[in-house]
Chains A and B, each alone.
Chain A
């Protein structure tokens, strides 16, 4: 693993993202901070609506605006603040330095162009190659992501491929310009488990080969445990806990992290009569409690928790921190 004093590749500080709705502004992301180090895989986990996808999109400034906007905060890629770049500068940066893959590869690929055409477009645009050279690179990339007979399949349309194949094409495309950071938003959620295993294995392998950092956004803690080195747990637009995965899975400190881990049905020796649950449900982002957003569902909550918002304790380091007044030991 990387050294303690290594400089982060990406630093997000106090990021606030707001969406305008009919009923007023909603903060999908409310003051989050985190670092991504070179060559590491950082997981962002949380349930639907916690702001994990919006966070991922914001790093590439892909939040549709209006209705969304970055209200404040910094996104520092090796010291450069992406929130201050022009749209033209962002265009160059997307794909070149940061790439993203999405949950549903069918909607991310153009259905009327062959896979090859789409890949060649990316390569000629970013890497000053002729179309002929780009095609050679594209075939090489397809073989790297494990597509059989790539020189034939490159001329297929997305609909001629299976879901797993399409996701591999997306990965090949995203990596074709050797980005420093890949953001993968639920890359395997639409896939079957056996295909998921193949795709995850591929991402881990390519990460090594390309020396890139990966942000893996997922709701599946199993995927996090098997592919990430560190993870952020998000809830209602906030980071509840950030930790290396050994600590997170063995000794979660935030009661929400603990609750999430407990409530997943696991393959186990003994069948349980009842699964542990987190009572209640996620609060509406329009009507958040004044104190801790998890407070109403937390068995450890006190009056302090209900009145004050706990902040992520960033005094020491952002590698391991928790936003809780009464964390578990």
Chain B
């Protein structure tokens, strides 16, 4: 078996914007605009970016919870995109999702035990006794007591509900889970508990995660590799160690310096970006980050930067930025 579990190739998700008298398509929002990456077995890929950068849409498009408009997704070397509805349902056993809001993602009228067992029922796995045993095992894995089974979601705190959501996602023994901001709605003391549960799942059950978050510190804690998204594109991609040690893209650097750090001694210089994230309906020409970029050069306004590997073949560090492209290097060498 190869090491690659998931391969995303040039994935696109465009949303049409309709308007006018005839409700015609007037524009496209490029929520995900040609994203490619690989996720290795038993590893976690962290996806970080600000609201509206397309990270959640990417997570959903990978699972075909929203239908991609272009590109391909391969799970275990097999394309997910061409699958029929029935085939996709079978494939869903291998890929699951954990949502951000533990209040909205659980049915309020269902007993927790039924919610966790539902995937087993839907896919017709095991006898009723086996299913019950599986649910008990799942509760144990996520650290909930057995009494939880016969209760309703409203009787639980946010952290416990998130554990219920995790148990449900684990029911079918998936090899791949998309975790979409799983701890963002939780308080810090509870957030660390849930993060530890996720880290343990990865270690002990060999599950690969696509972990989506806006919090760079959380991403660092869980991820082996990290991708940084801006306006629908991956602008930087590297191993977590390399990315945090040496962030290359000016956006990644600004993002890192903008995090308030609970350390009174740190007085490092902050890069405060001007302006806001542009609307994805009218992305700027050239590099989409150029209007806010402290290092912008003339060509950034017109030319979309290519993906450049600034690392090595075995230890890649991809950046989409003219600072690292060869033409830029040549130009700066020419200038006196």
Contacts and interface: CB of A to CB of B under 8 A. Distances in A.
Interface of A: 47-48, 162, 164-165, 192-198, 200-201, 219-227, 245-246, 249-250, 259-261, 263-268, 271-278, 281-282
Contacts of B187: 47-48, 219, 282
Contacts of B254: 194
27 contacts: A48-B187, A162-B276, A164-B276, A196-B258, A196-B260, A197-B260, A197-B270, A197-B273, A222-B262, A225-B261, A225-B262, A226-B260, A227-B260, A259-B189, A265-B218, A265-B220, A267-B217, A267-B220, A267-B259, A268-B220, A271-B240, A273-B199, A274-B196, A274-B199, A275-B192, A278-B192, A281-B160
Contacts of B196: 274-275, 277
B192 A194 contact: no
A275 B261 contact: no
Nearest to B251: A194
Contacts of A249: 262-264
A192 B214 contact: yes
Contacts, number: 123
B188 A192 contact: no
B50 A263 contact: no
Contact of A223 (B191, B195, B256, B260): B260
A224 B262 CA distance: 7
A47 B274 CA distance: 31
B275 to A, nearest CB: 8
Contacts of A274: 196, 199
A260 B188 contact: yes
A266 B272 contact: no
B260 A194 contact: no
- Residue picked from A47, A48, A197, A227, most chain B C-beta under 10 Å: A197
Contact size range, B: 35 or more
Contacts of A264: 188, 192, 217, 262
B262 A261 contact: yes
B259 A47 contact: no
B260 A220 contact: yes
Interface in B230-275: 240, 244, 254-256, 258-265, 270, 272-274
A197 B258 CA distance: 6
Nearest to A274: B196
Contacts of A267: 216-217, 220, 244, 256, 259, 261
Interface string B198-233: 010000000000000011111011000000000000
A220 B259 CA distance: 11
Which secondary structure dominates where chain A touches chain B? helix
Most buried by A among B51, B192, B218: B192
Contacts of A281: 157, 159-160, 189-190
Contacts of A196: 258, 260
Given A162-B276, A219-B187, A267-B244, A193 B193 contact: no
Given A250-B264, A266-B263, 10 more contacts: A47-B188, A48-B187, A196-B260, A221-B262, A225-B260, A265-B215, A267-B216, A271-B240, A275-B221, A278-B189
A194 B50 contact: yes
A199 B177 CA distance: 35
A223 B263 CA distance: 10
Contact of B272 (A198, A219, A222, A259): A198
A227 B272 CA distance: 15
B263 A225 contact: yes
A277 B50 contact: no
B308 interface: no
A271 B260 contact: no
Contacts of B218: 265
Contacts of A276: 192
Contacts of B199: 273-274
B102 to A, nearest CB: 13
A275 B192 CA distance: 6
A238 B277 CA distance: 39
B259 A263 contact: no
A110 B288 CA distance: 33
Nearest to A201: B272
Nearest to A188: B260
A100 to B, nearest CB: 21
Contacts of B195: 265, 275
Contacts of A261: 262
Given A264-B262, A267-B244, A271-B220, A192 B256 contact: no
Nearest to A162: B276
A266 B262 contact: yes
B187 to A, nearest CB: 4
B276 A222 contact: no
A282 B262 CA distance: 22
A226 B261 contact: yes
A8 B217 CA distance: 37
Closest 8 A-B residue pairs measured CB to CB? A222-B260, A47-B187, A192-B50, A263-B192, A275-B192, A278-B189, A197-B258, A221-B262
Contacts of B189: 47, 259-260, 263, 277-278, 281-282
Interface in B45-90: 50-51
Nearest to A47: B187
A287 to B, nearest CB: 14
Nearest to A261: B262
Nearest to B260: A222
A124 to B, nearest CB: 31
A192 B277 contact: yes
A227 B276 CA distance: 22
